[in-house]
């Protein structure tokens, strides 16, 4: 059991869809008595951040290649159940002239040894979704900060585990939501802080990205884990790319809170058909030709306690251009990123090219001016990944509160199971948990201008 009396059992996708909707509603209604407020908390400074990476697939390898560009870090440990991935990472460090890292591999639970290693400060988690919470919790229990790929939790029970463990141990738990550090997203966050939009009253975000081929590729996601997530779940399964940046702009958890949401999915028009087609050619795909895939498009609508609204869409199946939408609408102005390039307006027409340039010059944050060009060179989704890593290390080394704390990680992640409940109940509304225990009323907004340089 975790603090507060919530069961720590994990729900599979099929259970979430078919038999445990009452568990979701119960967990959503859990009342939290905050042990310690992690929003604005400053952990003891670290002159050098010693990092251990768990998961050396696509994301973990990208992180390993980025992190050495940041001053004041050491990659001291590597973990993966596949020996060839550790060997590849070992060779990378050698070619870069970097010191060898300790290796934890060869088994499903080798990562625990890394978390127990006293010579590590930060555990950087790049594994399949259902391992994120167990690994982050174990890291914090062993006096490590945890930075985990998205989502930080798959169930609401797991989200409460993260919150209660972080508060008790006073270790950071940050979700690696890289889009919060996208150039346009940081620009609009600073615009909101400087009053360009007036009062922001509505925002939209999305994860619209055709991933059919990635999901059915035998070699892209190990053990086909992501296709399995979609096989029996129906909702907004990957909401945080669109949600995170707009939550920061709307001061969610820091002056406002989500009150309830409603969610709707259409039918599946792609994955089931693709699985059946492949199963007719290759027996490997037979297990994926059964079950009920979630709909192509999911739309989730959130209302906040202050009467603001958020629309989040999710579609990884339909053949269409990639979009995160990122629309910010206020009483005095509006911005929208997609379709590219981003646009701005203070009236009935979009700004012209000269006016857009003036906005960018006026509102580009100091962080972007400082490391933006380097981020583009290092890369990672156009540079946002590098800015995210740099900012995390900047906070750890200089005693600065994290931009994304455990309450954000928990809240943004639970949009998935909450949306599943709503979809399964004819789009009825469901309350959104308050992971801050009421502290949202006095928590301060994110300050991206506070840096250690």
Residues 6+ apart with CB under 8 A from 200: 192, 249, 250, 308, 328, 329, 330
Residue 400 lies in a domain: no
> Looking at the structure, do residues 224 and 169 belong to the same domain, yes or no?
no
> Looking at the structure, do residues 433 and 416 belong to the same domain, yes or no?
yes
Instruction: Tell me how far apart the alpha carbons of residues 64 and 81 are, in angstroms, rounded to a whole number.
Output: 17
Residue 270 lies in a domain: yes
Residue 395 lies in a domain: no
> Looking at the structure, do residues 190 and 312 belong to the same domain, yes or no?
yes
The full length of the chain comes to 453
**At what angle are helices 21-28 and 406-424 packed, to 10 degrees?**
140
pTM confidence score: 0.94
> Looking at the structure, do residues 191 and 145 belong to the same domain, yes or no?
no
pLDDT given at position 31: 81
For residue 258, the enclosing domain spans: 180-365+405-441
Give the residue among 229, 232, 243 at the shortest CA–CA distance from 301. Answer: 243
Strands 327-330 and 200-208: antiparallel
> Looking at the structure, do residues 168 and 107 belong to the same domain, yes or no?
yes
Output the domain CATH number for residue 230.
Answer: 3.30.360.10
Q: Is there a contact between 298 and 313 (Cβ–Cβ < 8 Å)?
A: yes
Residue 449 lies in a domain: no
Q: Is-cis flag, bond preceding 151, omega within 30? A: yes
Residue ranges in 283-365 assigned as alpha helix (H)? 353-363
> Looking at the structure, do residues 139 and 188 belong to the same domain, yes or no?
no
Instruction: Tell me how far apart the alpha carbons of residues 168 and 170 are, in angstroms, rounded to a whole number.
Output: 6
Among 162, 177, 192, residue at a domain's last position: 177
Neighbours of 283 (CB within 10 A): 9
List the strands of the sheet with 145-148, edge to edge.
Answer: 102-105, 73-80, 49-54, 122-125, 145-148, 173-175
C-alpha pair distances (Å), 12 with each of 18, 302, 365, 372: 10, 25, 42, 40
Residue 407 in 3-state DSSP?
Answer: helix
What are 123-141's pLDDT values in tens digits? 999 999 999 999 999 999 9
What are 161-202's pLDDT values in tens digits? 999 999 999 999 999 999 999 999 999 999 999 999 999 999
Between 30 and 258, name the one with better pLDDT: 258
> Looking at the structure, do residues 280 and 358 belong to the same domain, yes or no?
yes
Residue 83 lies in a domain: yes
Residue 377 has pLDDT above 50, yes or no: yes
> Looking at the structure, do residues 20 and 125 belong to the same domain, yes or no?
yes
Residue listed under structure tokens 């869409």 = 313
> Looking at the structure, do residues 116 and 156 belong to the same domain, yes or no?
yes
- Joined tokens for residue 9: 């059992």
What are 330-362's pLDDT values in tens digits? 999 999 999 999 999 999 999 999 999 999 999
Neighbours of 279 (CB within 10 A): 16
What are 407-429's pLDDT values in tens digits? 999 999 999 999 999 999 999 99
Output the domain CATH number for residue 63.
Answer: 3.40.50.720
- Residue 291: pLDDT band (50, 70, 90) is confident
Residue 339, Cα to own-chain centre: how many angstroms? 22
C-alpha pair distances (Å), 31 with each of 14, 28, 311, 437: 27, 9, 26, 7
- Give me the chain's average pLDDT, please: 94
Instruction: Tell me how far apart the alpha carbons of residues 371 and 93 are, in angstroms, rounded to a whole number.
Output: 24
Q: Is there a contact between 115 and 135 (Cβ–Cβ < 8 Å)?
A: yes
> Looking at the structure, do residues 246 and 132 belong to the same domain, yes or no?
no
pLDDT given at position 6: 41
> Looking at the structure, do residues 247 and 127 belong to the same domain, yes or no?
no
Which residues are paired to 175 by β-bridges?
A: 148
Among 130, 156, 177, residue at a domain's last position: 177
Among 19-33, 89-103, 302-316, which is the least confidently predicted range? Answer: 19-33
Residue 65 lies in a domain: yes
Which residues are paired to 146 by β-bridges?
A: 123, 173
Residue 8 lies in a domain: no
Residue 49, Cα to own-chain centre: how many angstroms? 22
Helix H or strand E encompassing 206: strand 200-208
- Joined tokens for residue 63: 């992180």
Instruction: Tell me how far apart the alpha carbons of residues 187 and 137 are, in angstroms, rounded to a whole number.
Output: 33
Strands 73-80 and 49-54: parallel
Query: What is the tally of structural domains in the chain?
Result: 2
Among 177, 208, 232, residue at a domain's last position: 177
Q: Is there a contact between 182 and 382 (Cβ–Cβ < 8 Å)?
A: yes
C-alpha pair distances (Å), 221 with each of 233, 271, 432: 18, 16, 31
Buried b (16+ CB within 10 A) or exposed e, 371-387: bbeebeebebeebbbbb
> Looking at the structure, do residues 165 and 223 belong to the same domain, yes or no?
no
pLDDT given at position 116: 98
Residue 393 lies in a domain: no
């Amino acid at each position: 059991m975790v603090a507060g009396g919530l069961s720590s059992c994990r729900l599979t996708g099929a259970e979430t869809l078919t038999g445990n909707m009452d568990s979701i509603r119960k967990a959503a209604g859990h009342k939290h008595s905050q042990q310690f407020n992690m929003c604005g908390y400053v952990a003891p400074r670290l002159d050098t951040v010693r990092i251990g990476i768990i998961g050396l697939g696509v994301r973990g390898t990208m992180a390993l290649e980025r992190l050495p560009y940041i001053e004041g870090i050491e990659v001291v440990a590597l973990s993966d159940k596949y020996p060839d991935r550790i060997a590849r990472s070992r060779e990378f460090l050698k070619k870069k002239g970097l010191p060898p890292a300790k290796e934890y591999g060869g088994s499903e639970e080798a990562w625990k040894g890394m978390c127990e290693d006293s010579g590590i400060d930060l555990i950087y988690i790049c594994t399949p979704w259902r391992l994120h919470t167990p690994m982050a919790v174990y890291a914090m229990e062993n006096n490590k900060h945890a930075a985990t790929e998205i989502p930080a939790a798959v169930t609401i029970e797991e989200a409460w585990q993260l919150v209660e463990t972080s508060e008790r141990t006073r270790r950071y738990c940050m979700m690696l939501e890289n889009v919060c550090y996208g150039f346009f997203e940081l620009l609009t966050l600073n615009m909101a802080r400087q009053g360009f939009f007036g009062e922001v009253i509505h925002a939209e975000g999305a994860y619209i990205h055709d991933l059919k081929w990635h999901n059915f590729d035998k070699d892209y996601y190990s053990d086909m884990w992501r296709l399995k997530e979609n096989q029996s779940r129906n909702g907004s399964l990957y909401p945080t790319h669109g949600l995170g940046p707009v939550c920061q702009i709307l001061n969610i958890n820091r002056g406002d809170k989500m009150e309830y949401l409603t969610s709707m999915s259409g039918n599946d028009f792609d994955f089931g058909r693709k699985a059946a087609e492949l199963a007719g050619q290759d027996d490997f795909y037979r297990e994926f030709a059964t079950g009920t895939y979630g709909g192509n498009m999911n739309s989730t609508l959130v209302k906040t306690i202050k009467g603001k609204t958020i629309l989040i869409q999710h579609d990884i199946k339909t053949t269409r251009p990639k979009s995160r939408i990122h629309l910010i609408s206020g009483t005095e102005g509006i911005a929208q990123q997609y379709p590219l390039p981003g646009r701005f307006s203070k009236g009935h027409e979009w700004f012209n090219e000269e006016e857009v340039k003036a906005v960018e010059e006026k509102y580009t944050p100091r962080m972007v001016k400082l490391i933006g060009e380097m981020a583009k060179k290092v890369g990672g989704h156009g540079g946002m990944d590098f800015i995210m890593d740099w900012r995390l290390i900047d906070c750890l080394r200089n005693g600065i509160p994290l931009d994304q704390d455990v309450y954000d990680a928990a809240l943004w992640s639970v949009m998935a199971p909450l949306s599943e409940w709503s979809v399964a109940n004819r789009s009825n509304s469901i309350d959104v948990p308050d992971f801050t225990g009421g502290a949202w009323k006095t928590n301060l907004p994110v300050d991206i201008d506070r840096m250690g340089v």
